[in-house]
Amino acid sequence: MCLGEAAYVEDHGVCGFRATPLKYNYDGCVGSPLFGVGKEPRANRCLNASRPNVVCFFVIATSSLVPESILKKRRTLEQVKAKRAAKAAADRVHRKKVRQIAFKSAEKYIKEYRQLEKQAVTLRRQAKSTGNFYVPAEAKFAFVIRIRGIIGVSPKVRKILQLLRLRQIQNGVFVKLNKATINMLRLVEPFVTYGYPNLKVTRELIYKRGFGKVRGQRIPLTDNSVIEKSLGHVGIICIEDLIHEIFTVGEHFKQAANFLWPFQLSSPNGGYTKKLLHFAEGGDAGNRGAEINKFIKQCL
């Protein structure tokens, strides 16, 4: 009869281990090999020779040592968790700081825009009171939209359209106006329409149809972090900074305009009137001036 099983189990505290029946012979107990260091102990089964109908189990305890590989893995995981926690805390602090800067920048830009509007109103009133005409300042940038395909396009015009990044119909881009770009627009006038958007339309374009170019990929501007990663080195960290740089044609206009993926606009509500004719002749091509604002709203 097997004795001491309960006492052995109680002393070693292994009552909860699973006892697995093993093969045995008619001579008595046959021990099973252990799993090894750090594994669950296995149970042996014996058949009492004097009491053949009684089957008893006894547990063989094993060592509780943990392999070095598991310890290393635990240490590595703890280090990774600590680094992630530190990075998350630093990111929270950085985002809070960026939000504060963006809020202050937005307030400053609003004051600047209102001051420009008041200045224009004052100049217009002064001109009217003295019997003169008020002539607004020349536009510094334009928004160009391609309205025709590749049929009948000469190689020179095609190259200019590629330089302007207008590769598809209904693509639009912001262009800084200087002598070179004005001459380029004159050459491609039959295939594009352009004009001078106001602040409201510029903001709507970037907010509604704006995508950024990040490592050659088209990324939606859903977070200021997308702008900060690409244009943070030039002081543009939020979407309001981007709008201000475009509208005022700042020092880093080129970087800001190139960061914006060419806008993909819809066809205007009601369709086109006549693409082959100039806007001054009742068509759609060429310079629209301030009328581009109405056209862009139809395409949004």
pLDDT digits (tens, 9 = 90+) for 74-103: 999 999 999 999 999 988 888 888 888 888
DSSP β-bridge partners for residue 146? 192
DSSP 3-state of 106: helix
Q: Is the pLDDT of residue 173 over 90?
A: yes
pLDDT, position 33: 43
Least confident of 31-45, 63-77, 269-283: 31-45
The amino acid sitting at 233 is H
Q: Is the pLDDT of residue 43 over 50?
A: no
Which residue reads 């160009």 in tokens?
A: 144
Q: How confident is the model at residue 51 (pLDDT cuts 50, 70, 90)?
A: low
pLDDT, position 266: 94
pLDDT tens, residue by residue, 111-142: 999 999 999 999 999 999 998 888 888 899 99
* Percent of the chain topping pLDDT 70: 79
Q: How confident is the model at residue 186 (pLDDT cuts 50, 70, 90)?
A: very high
When pLDDT is averaged across residues 151-169 and rounded to a whole number, the result is 93
pLDDT, position 105: 85
| Mean residue pLDDT across the chain | 82
DSSP string, 142-174: EEEEE---STT--HHHHHHHHHTT--STTEEEE
More confident residue, 173 or 45: 173
CB 17 within 8 A of CB 35: no
* Percent of the chain topping pLDDT 90: 57
pLDDT, position 106: 86
CB 230 within 8 A of CB 214: yes
pLDDT, position 94: 84
CB 195 within 8 A of CB 291: yes
pLDDT tens, residue by residue, 239-261: 999 999 999 999 999 999 999 99
Please report the sign of the dihedral spanned by the C-alpha atoms of residue 71, residue 73, residue 76, residue 78: negative
pLDDT, position 4: 42
Domain boundaries, the chain: 1-83, 141-299
pLDDT, position 14: 42
**Rama region for 250: left / alpha / beta (φ>0; ψ in -120 to 50; rest):** beta
Q: Whose CA is closest to 211, among 164, 161, 175, 258? A: 258
Cα angle for residues 221, 223, 224 (degrees, 5° grid): 100
Q: How confident is the model at residue 221 (pLDDT cuts 50, 70, 90)?
A: very high
Q: What is the CATH number of domain 141-299?
A: 3.30.1390.20
What pTM does this model have?
0.69
